[in-house]
């Protein structure tokens, strides 16, 4: 039965659609393979070719017995596949001896438990399916069936076929999201807001900017929250004609509070806010919490600790997507910046961010005090309070300061490496016996394996073509008994120089600021082991084991009168 088309699919339909008989299905799937399930088939044999071969030879066994009758590339491909075809056939063959009792009533689609299903999907990282379940966990009329046309809607389960059951469970009544958000866009409203702000000892602060680079983007507004369900947004930029506060005077009034270490500040990924405000001339003090870092300590193995996922997990709340404000990326035009979005929309969005971060910290920080107790481990709140949270400010200082780059060193290296690549290209072409595109894997395979007859060591996972990755080339280069072993060695050398030139030598000078300093972004929650990671650019991956790598590192220099100190704890996370 074809579940999608809801049609019977018998021998006649199979012959018309696939061109084979039912008894040939297993052999057909063996020849074609399945890249999704990593089942290798015969290279170059698709559905039409497999059907033609089975029509001519009847079975896979007869095809193998008659392999000598095949011609050209097809014969080579079938012969090359012989060592693994038996395994592929076993993988595509369904086990028909599994003892399953026939209970048609038990197999009917029944109402699901949304909360249990959502927890299962979230715990296994099935985010797309989890989003579908969340669509049913909301007040309002009954939702449509969760997985339309997917959970075997045939027989009595098909609507209109006599079934009186409704397959989908009724939506769970989630706790309503109660919130009151204020737009503070006039001096009078600011004075009222500031009077209440001045009484607070702990608050969430979230900034909105024109971009994602905290040091190069412009401040658009600030959101504050100090109680569940209520937040305030202060726009300091707005579209033409819309009310907003004066940037300079607003920051001047907020400076004392933001720089007061006695007033605790929290947020989600608060390091971004620290950097934006630092670029605006405010050195925020009193950082006391970060919901992203707290969740990381509780669930270090999770792939994501972003605000939207934490809101769904802990608050069962779907946040306003940023695309509702700035639009989606498309070829028709660029996305808006936050400075171009109407202030009432940003007020709701930014206030929700601050509110959710506040609520999450209220939930997560107490959990840190009890985490590990069942396993006899010490609580995590000390690690959070004494190490991870203070580290946020340290990393912000490192990112804001940056590291000085001697562009002249890299410019010289770029010229030298261009000359080196040109020389390597000549040597590679000479060893190959002709010119070819070194960056083309297809042409490289033809040179190495077809023309120079080097052995095919391994194949790629999907196309099953001969691999030309680094491990393969290193093995070929080590086969010094073969006359052509010098070519893969030169290819490796060319790849190394080309990568270093493109990734570091030419790219890094494009990212420096007016003081010749390079700014990276450090991530506290990027590795389950607790190690930091770095991006934009990755400064933790500058090579050191090669002479070229050491020359690149020589371009990182201190200010005059200073020295760079290198220290490393070996395997400290262990």
- What pLDDT was estimated at residue 130? 82
Final residue of a domain: which of 337, 367, 400? Answer: 400
Identify whether residues 219 and 320 lie together within a single domain: yes
What distance in Å separates the CA atoms of residue 239 and residue 570, rounded to the nearest whole number?
Answer: 53
- What pLDDT was estimated at residue 138? 53
Identify whether residues 418 and 395 lie together within a single domain: no
Domain membership flag for residue 551: no
Identify whether residues 198 and 270 lie together within a single domain: yes
Identify whether residues 222 and 302 lie together within a single domain: yes
Domain membership flag for residue 544: no
Identify whether residues 347 and 276 lie together within a single domain: yes
- What pLDDT was estimated at residue 92? 93
Identify whether residues 170 and 189 lie together within a single domain: no
Identify whether residues 331 and 212 lie together within a single domain: yes
- What pLDDT was estimated at residue 284? 98
- What pLDDT was estimated at residue 368? 95
Place of tokens 């010289």: 412
What distance in Å separates the CA atoms of residue 194 and residue 188, rounded to the nearest whole number?
Answer: 10
- What pLDDT was estimated at residue 51? 93
The crossing angle, in degrees rounded to 10, of helices 11-18 and 25-32 is 30
- What pLDDT was estimated at residue 301? 83
Domain total for the chain? 4
- What pLDDT was estimated at residue 106? 84
Domain membership flag for residue 231: yes
**Domain span at 311:** 180-400
- The end-to-end CA distance of the chain, in Å, is 55
Final residue of a domain: which of 511, 536, 569? Answer: 511
Final residue of a domain: which of 359, 376, 400? Answer: 400
Domain membership flag for residue 465: yes
Identify whether residues 451 and 380 lie together within a single domain: no
Is the distance from CB of 476 to CB of 496 less than 8 angstroms? no
Tell me which H or E stretch contains 428: helix 407-432
Output phi, psi for 558, to 5 deg.
Answer: -85, 170
> pLDDT under 50 in the chain at which residues?
139-173
Is the distance from CB of 316 to CB of 246 less than 8 angstroms? no
Identify whether residues 236 and 261 lie together within a single domain: yes
Identify whether residues 238 and 375 lie together within a single domain: yes
- What pLDDT was estimated at residue 281? 97
Residue 176 per-residue DSSP state? P
Q: Which long-range contacts (CB under 8 A, 24 or more apart) does 315-320 make?
A: 315/356, 315/359, 315/360, 315/363, 316/134, 316/137, 316/174, 316/175, 317/177, 317/356, 318/134, 319/352, 319/353, 319/356, 320/348, 320/349, 320/352
CATH number at residue 456: 1.20.1060.10
Domain membership flag for residue 565: no
Closest CA to 272 of 284, 255, 260: 284
Count of other CB atoms within 10 angstroms of residue 201: 10
Residue 464, classed as helix, strand or coil, is: coil
CATH number at residue 255: 3.30.420.10
What distance in Å separates the CA atoms of residue 437 and residue 165, rounded to the nearest whole number?
Answer: 64
Domain membership flag for residue 529: no
Omega before 25 cis (within 30°)?
no
Count of other CB atoms within 10 angstroms of residue 99: 4
Domain membership flag for residue 113: no
Place of tokens 């290209």: 425
Output phi, psi for 194, to 5 deg.
Answer: -65, -35
- At 377, list the tokens: 């481990």
- What pLDDT was estimated at residue 112? 84
Q: What separation in angstroms does the CA of 294 have from each of 311, 354, 387, 472, 529?
A: 14, 16, 12, 43, 15
Identify whether residues 419 and 488 lie together within a single domain: yes
Q: How far is CA 539 from the centre of its chain?
A: 20
Domain membership flag for residue 527: no
- What pLDDT was estimated at residue 378? 87
- What pLDDT was estimated at residue 163? 40
Identify whether residues 164 and 188 lie together within a single domain: no
Which residues make Cβ contacts (< 8 Å) with residue 363, sequence separation at least 6?
A: 314, 315
- What pLDDT was estimated at residue 174? 52
- What pLDDT was estimated at residue 169? 41
CATH number at residue 80: 1.10.150.20
Is the distance from CB of 145 to CB of 163 less than 8 angstroms? no
């Amino acid at each position: 039965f074809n579940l999608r088309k809801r049609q019977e699919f018998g021998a006649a339909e199979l012959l018309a659609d696939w061109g084979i008989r039912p008894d040939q299905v297993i052999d057909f799937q063996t020849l074609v393979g399945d890249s999704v399930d990593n089942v290798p088939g015969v290279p170059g044999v698709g559905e039409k070719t497999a059907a033609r071969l089975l029509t001519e030879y009847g079975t896979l066994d007869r095809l193998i017995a008659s392999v000598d009758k095949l011609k050209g590339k097809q014969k080579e491909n079938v012969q090359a596949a012989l060592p693994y075809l038996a395994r592929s056939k076993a993988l595509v063959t369904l086990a028909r001896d599994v003892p399953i009792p026939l209970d048609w009533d038990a197999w009917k689609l029944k109402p699901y438990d949304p909360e249990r299903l959502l927890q299962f999907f979230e715990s296994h990282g099935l985010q797309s399916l989890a989003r579908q379940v969340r669509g049913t966990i909301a007040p309002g009329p009954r939702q449509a069936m969760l997985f339309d046309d997917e959970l075997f809607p045939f027989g009595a389960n098909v609507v209109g076929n006599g079934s009186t059951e409704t397959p989908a469970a009724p939506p769970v009544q989630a706790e309503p999201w109660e919130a009151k958000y204020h737009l503070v866009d006039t001096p009078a409203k600011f004075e009222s807001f500031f009077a209440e702000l001045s009484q607070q000892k702990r608050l969430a602060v979230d900034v909105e900017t024109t971009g994602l680079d905290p040091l190069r983007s412009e401040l658009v507004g600030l959101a504050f929250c100090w109680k569940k369900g209520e937040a305030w947004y202060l726009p300091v930029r707005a579209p033409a004609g819309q009310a907003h506060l004066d940037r300079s005077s607003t920051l001047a009034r907020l400076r004392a509070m933001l720089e007061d270490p006695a007033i605790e500040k929290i947020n989600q990924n608060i390091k971004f806010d620290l950097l934006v405000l630092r670029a605006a001339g405010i050195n925020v003090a009193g950082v006391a919490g970060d919901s992203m870092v707290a969740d990381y300590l509780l669930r270090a193995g999770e792939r994501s600790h972003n605000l939207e996922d934490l809101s769904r997990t802990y608050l069962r709340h779907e946040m306003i997507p940023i695309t509702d404000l700035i639009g989606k990326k498309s070829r028709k035009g660029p996305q808006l910046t936050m400075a171009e979005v109407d202030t009432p929309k940003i007020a709701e969005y930014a206030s929700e961010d601050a509110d959710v971060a506040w609520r999450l910290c209220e939930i997560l920080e107490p959990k840190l005090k009890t985490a590990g107790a069942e396993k006899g481990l010490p609580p995590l709140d000390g690690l959070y309070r004494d190490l991870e949270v203070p580290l946020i400010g340290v990393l912000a200082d490192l990112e804001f300061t940056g590291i000085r780059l001697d562009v002249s060193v890299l410019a010289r290296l770029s010229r030298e490496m261009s000359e080196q690549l040109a020389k390597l290209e000549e040597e590679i072409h000479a060893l190959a016996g002709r010119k070819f595109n070194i960056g083309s894997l297809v042409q490289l395979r033809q040179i190495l394996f077809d023309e120079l007859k080097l052995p095919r060591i391994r194949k790629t996972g999907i196309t099953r073509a001969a691999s030309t990755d680094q491990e393969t080339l290193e093995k070929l280069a080590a086969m010094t008994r073969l006359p052509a072993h010098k070519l893969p060695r030169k290819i490796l050398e060319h790849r190394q120089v080309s990568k270093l030139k493109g990734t570091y030598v030419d790219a890094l000078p494009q990212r420096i600021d007016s003081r010749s300093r390079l700014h990276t972004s450090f991530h506290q929650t990027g590795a389950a082991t607790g190690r930091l990671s770095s991006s934009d650019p990755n400064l933790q991956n500058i090579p050191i084991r090669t002479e070229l790598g050491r020359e690149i590192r020589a371009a990182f220099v201190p200010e005059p009168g200073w020295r760079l100190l290198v220290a490393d704890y070996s395997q400290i996370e262990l």
